Amino acid sequence: GTRIVYDRSFLLQMRNSP
């Protein structure tokens, strides 16, 4: 099946988004 993968740069970018 498919897996929802997030790399660290995307996750870190999301840290301060509203």
Partner 1 sequence: PRDVIKHPLQNSWTLWYFENDRAKNWEDNQVEIYNFDTVEDFWALVNHIKPASEIRVGTDYSLFKKGVRPMWEDPANKNGGRWLVSLEKKQRGPELNNCWLEVMLCLIGEAFDEFSDDVCGAVMNIRPKGDKIGIWTGDGTRTNSIMEIGQRIKSRLNIPAKVLIGYQLHRDLTVKNSSVIKNRHQV
The residue type found at 18 is P
Min dist CB 15 to partner 1, Å, is: 5
d(CA 15, CA 18): 9
Min dist CB 9 to partner 1, Å, is: 10
Residues of this chain that interact with partner 1 (CB under 8 A) are: 3-8, 11-12, 14-15
Min dist CB 2 to partner 1, Å, is: 9
DSSP 8-state symbol, 1: -
